[in-house]
Chains A and B, each alone.
Chain A
Amino acid sequence: MSVKVFSTQSCPWCHRVKDFLREHKVDFEDLDVGRDEKARNEMLEKSGQMGVPVLDINGTIIIGFDQEAITEALGL
């Protein structure tokens, strides 16, 4: 299972997403698109979005803290 979280340091819903993943013991890669341009471009390409959080769960792109979609994609 590969989980990427595209986030910024200030974004509150990003904190919630990461707390949620930690609570469920899901390992994830945290990419700060506020600073990391490569990650920002990857996110833009995958989601067409300049808003965070964006999650890439095994290729499924989820925009925002959509708990139901995240739960489903992770099979929790």
Chain B
Amino acid sequence: MTANDSAASSEKEQKEADSSPVISSAKDGAIAGIAQYDVAIIGGGVAGYSAGMYAGRFGLKTILFAEKIGGTIMLTDEIANYPGFSMISGYDLAEKIRQHALEYGLKEVPARVAAVERKGSCFRLRSGKDGKDMVQAKTVIMATGTEWRKLDVPGEEKFTGRGVHYCALCDGAFYRDKTVAIIGGSDSAAKEALLLAQFAKKVYIIYRGEKIRPEPINERKVEAQENITVINNTHVTAIQGESKVMHVDLDTPYEGSDSLALDGVFVAIGHIALSDLAKQVGVTLNGKGEIGIDRQARTNVPGVFAAGDVADTNFKQAITGAAEGVTAAYGAYTYLNEQDIICACNDEDC
């Protein structure tokens, strides 16, 4: 059977899947057959839901797992570079892409996938308590995104959530009329600083390089913002305080002092790819831990695709992640069309 044939029956199967327990839970040795899908998407950010939307259009029976529905874009207040929207909030964009995917019958599971393993020509995904909930899929799209890179200096862990933060939109409101620093020099760091400047009385951008490197449009905004000061060529070496953050230590003196008084520190020094699950099934990662993909979003493992921030593409934006997600769905569709895959092993014991 090809994917074309399966497309016709797939809508019906999807409806059945929606009304029955999707995930078999192994209890006391009584095992129902494990639910089968054409595509399992791991990740509920823009890349995952874009893949889900297109997989639905291709008539593929698709399940999507999301630990955090919406993903990273939700943490940005203003998106001005997603074609078709001159300005939209990250929350709204995430929700629009999600709803679009759900229109095509995507099965959404708000849970973390704990493990993925190859079972014959298929893949078994485990989620839930002790990994007892299982599904099988003929193809997997990894759209797991990234986590914040830590600064890794004394005081960071102690004050996390109490003076050290990673998301201005989430926690910026605590710093109304206070003094804060953003650490980092990327476009994201600049955007975080601009957001904080709306709450805080003073915002420092502390960057280890020679010159911060936001998009020119954001660079101009930073320059024009009176309460933002950029400190280049400087590392923060420690975050100090007692019950709350009081100052940071600098390796290069600023205005004659190697300590800068602050109420809060926001860290924006990049991200680390969440690629452990891909590694479990033998996917090749680059030196940064990102998943290597080709122009069809294929990894080195047949049947495994990847998209978005977890992949090894240089430019990581919502639109590029969405495009890769769509490409990955097409890759899965083509792969399923080219061969007849049967998930022979359908219970827990094999």
Contacts and interface: CB of A to CB of B under 8 A. Distances in A.
Contacts of A10: 77, 169-170, 172-173
Interface string B82-109: 0000000011000000000000000000
Interface string B151-170: 00000000001110100011
A9 B170 CA distance: 9
A52 B91 CA distance: 16
B165 A51 contact: yes
Interface in A1-54: 8-13, 15-16, 33-34, 40, 48-52
B87 to A, nearest CB: 16
State the majority secondary structure of interface residues on A.
loop
B173 A63 contact: no
B171 interface: yes
B161 A50 contact: yes
Nearest to B77: A10
A34 B173 contact: yes
A52 B69 contact: no
B277 interface: no
Among A12, A15, A49, A63, the most chain B Cβ lie within 10 Å of the Cβ of: A12
Interface string B63-91: 00000111000110100000000000011
B174 interface: yes
B282 interface: no
Interface in B145-198: 161-163, 165, 169-174, 176
A9 B205 CA distance: 25
B302 interface: no
A58 interface: no
Contact of B170 (A12, A67, A68): A12
5 contacts: A8-B173, A13-B68, A48-B162, A50-B174, A68-B111
